[in-house]
Copies of this chain bind each other. A is one copy, B any other.
Amino acid sequence: MTLAPKQKRPAGKPCCEPVVYPDVERADAERMAEIAKALGDPIRLTLVDVLRKHAGRVCVCELVPLFFVSQSTLSHHLKKLRDAGIVDSERKGLWAYYYVRPDALKELSAWLS
């Protein structure tokens, strides 16, 4: 697959024919980029890693001591993951249990490989 121009453009005319096009639809790209963005922080990526290793649910009070940030900051990160649809939570009395939504990472994972 060879493309791209070899000569300077004749002035006025376009540099080259547009030969390449994306395979992903714009909406798909936006959805996947949102997921990727949410994973684009070491704390959040690690959070997902921890949650994924547990089929069950993990209490927030167990997550907080794993990172050197305040409780409110961690809560903020969890919210970002929730907003991106990667995790969800369930409240039980005082405690909140988080878990990774099944298939949340599927599309991005498929695209990546």
Q: How large is the interface on A (under 10, 10 to 19, 20 to 34, 35 or more residues)?
A: 35 or more
A94 to B15, CA, bound (A): 11
Per a CB cutoff under 8 Å, which of B22, B44, B56 touches A1? Answer: B56
Stoichiometry (number of copies): 2
Tell whether A23 is near chain B: CB-to-CB under 8 Å. yes
A14 to B99, CA, bound (A): 22
- Which residue on chain B has the smallest CB distance to residue A52? B23
Tell whether A62 is near chain B: CB-to-CB under 8 Å. yes
Q: Name the B residues within 8 Å of A20 (CB-CB).
A: 50, 53-54, 58, 62-63, 66
Q: Name the B residues within 8 Å of A38 (CB-CB).
A: 40
Known: A46-B24, A53-B20. A4 touches B59 (CB 8 A): yes
Name the 4 nearest CB pairs between A and B, nearest first: A37-B40, A4-B59, A36-B39, A109-B112
